[in-house]
């Protein structure tokens, strides 16, 4: 791996211009106006995977936007790494908050990026990271240093809740077999703090309808006998968590793994300054023990 720096230096201009080309395509999954651009982006990713050395690359249809699948199998007995990424991006609105147009990438030096960084929608979520893995494959295939099998699963619906990823996985279990899944679609604690994300909070939502009497009721005549739906709903929402913000729904934690003592210790080592945190968010208080220890 000692040649990786010189390989990057040698091919840097091409790497950057290829990534910029990818960033120029507005692959906005949430807006059906961009359906063609989604296909163009999937095709561009396919081409890049082929150039990087994949033996098989496919654009796989799903009931939604397609998934780009690629693989480089060198030896069935070796372990297989599956790289996950996504080629869709968030809608860029509101446009007037951009210093430069979202799909016209520019390289700028800033206080945070003294060496320069690309500014464009998707540059750091997730086209940039996804592209890094593609280029890592290129380096390893071109220099005969690939130590394992590699598969890529690059989806186009991450920004809209990965609606059909489950469907795709269920229909391609054999094809996606792997030993390790590698994802670079998370964040780093700081530029100088390498971070591994081992778990994420999920989200769950539902629509609840509370119905009441067939008309507005006079408080003097009916107050105290018939519940007002908004009061009932408020009580229901408030009862979802206890005083430590633990969720009170029976069975909610049944399949949630407890953090080990070691994991908690590791998390506690991460740099964190409560005053800075509060200042950044313009708030006076954060939840205590329950949230952070
Ligand atoms: Zn992402």
* pLDDT tens, position by position, 178-189: 999 999 998 888
Which neighbouring-strand residues pair with 150?
A: 72, 81
The token duo for 116 is: 């320069």
**Residue of 18, 71, 88, 138 with catalytic role:** 88
Average pLDDT score over the chain: 93
- Extents of the domains making up the chain: 4-183, 204-293
Provide the 8-state DSSP code for 283. -
Respond yes or no: is residue 159 known to be catalytic. no
204-293: CATH architecture: 2-Layer Sandwich (3.30)
The answer on pLDDT for 1 being more than 80 is: no
pLDDT tens digits for 137-178?
Answer: 999 999 999 999 999 999 999 999 999 999 999 999 999 999
Identify the pLDDT of residue 2. 60
Identify the pLDDT of residue 190. 81
Respond yes or no: is residue 269 known to be catalytic. no
Q: Which CATH number fits domain 4-183: 2.60.120.10, 3.90.550.10, 3.40.630.10, 3.90.1150.10?
A: 3.40.630.10
Q: Which of 138, 156, 141 is nearest to 30 (CA)?
A: 156
For the segment 58-67, the average pLDDT, to the nearest whole number, is 98
How far is residue 5's CA from residue 265's CA, in Å, rounded to a whole number? 34
CA distances from 90 to 37, 163, 233 (A): 14, 15, 33
Grade residue 200 by pLDDT with cuts at 50, 70 and 90: confident
Give the Cβ contact number of residue 128 at 10 Å: 18
How far is residue 34's CA from residue 103's CA, in Å, rounded to a whole number? 13
CA of 92 from ligand 1 middle (Å) equals 14
Identify the pLDDT of residue 83. 98
CA of 158 from ligand 1 middle (Å) equals 6
Q: Which runs of consecutive H residues, i.e. helices, occur in 53-157?
A: 127-142
CA contacts within 13 A on the Cβ side of 191: 6
CA of 88 from ligand 1 middle (Å) equals 8
How far is residue 169's CA from residue 173's CA, in Å, rounded to a whole number? 6
For the segment 257-267, the average pLDDT, to the nearest whole number, is 91
Grade residue 288 by pLDDT with cuts at 50, 70 and 90: low
The answer on pLDDT for 293 being more than 50 is: no
How far is residue 56's CA from residue 74's CA, in Å, rounded to a whole number? 12
Identify the pLDDT of residue 185. 92
The answer on pLDDT for 193 being more than 90 is: no
The answer on pLDDT for 289 being more than 50 is: no
CA of 3 from ligand 1 middle (Å) equals 30
């Amino acid at each position: 791996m000692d040649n990786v720096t010189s390989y990057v230096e040698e091919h840097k201009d091409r790497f950057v211009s290829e990534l910029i080309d990818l960033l120029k395509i507005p692959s906005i999954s949430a807006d059906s106006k961009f359906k063609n651009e989604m296909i163009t982006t999937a095709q561009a990713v396919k081409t890049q995977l082929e150039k990087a050395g994949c033996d098989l690359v496919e654009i796989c249809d799903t009931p939604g936007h397609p998934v780009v699948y690629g693989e480089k199998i060198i030896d069935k007995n070796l372990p297989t790494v599956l790289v996950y990424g996504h080629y869709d991006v968030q809608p860029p609105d509101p446009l007037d908050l951009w210093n430069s147009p979202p799909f016209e990438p520019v390289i700028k030096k800033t206080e945070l990026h003294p060496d320069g960084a690309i500014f464009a929608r998707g540059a750091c979520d997730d086209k940039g990271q996804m592209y890094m893995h593609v280029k890592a494959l290129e380096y390893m295939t071109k220099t005969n240093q690939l130590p394992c099998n590699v598969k890529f699963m690059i989806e186009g619906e991450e920004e809209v809740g990965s609606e059909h990823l489950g469907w795709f996985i269920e229909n391609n279990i054999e094809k996606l077999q792997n030993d390790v899944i590698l994802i670079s679609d998370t964040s780093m604690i700081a530029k100088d703090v390498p971070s591994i994300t081992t778990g994420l909070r999920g989200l769950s939502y539902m629509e609840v309808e509370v119905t009441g009497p067939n008309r507005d009721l006079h408080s003097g005549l009916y107050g105290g006998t018939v519940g007002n739906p908004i009061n009932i709903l408020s009580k229901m929402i408030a009862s979802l968590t206890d005083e430590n913000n633990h969720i009170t729904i029976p069975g909610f934690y049944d399949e949630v793994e407890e953090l080990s003592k070691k994991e908690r210790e590791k998390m506690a080592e991460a740099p964190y300054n409560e005053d800075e945190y509060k200042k950044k968010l313009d708030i006076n208080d954060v939840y205590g023990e329950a949230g952070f220890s």
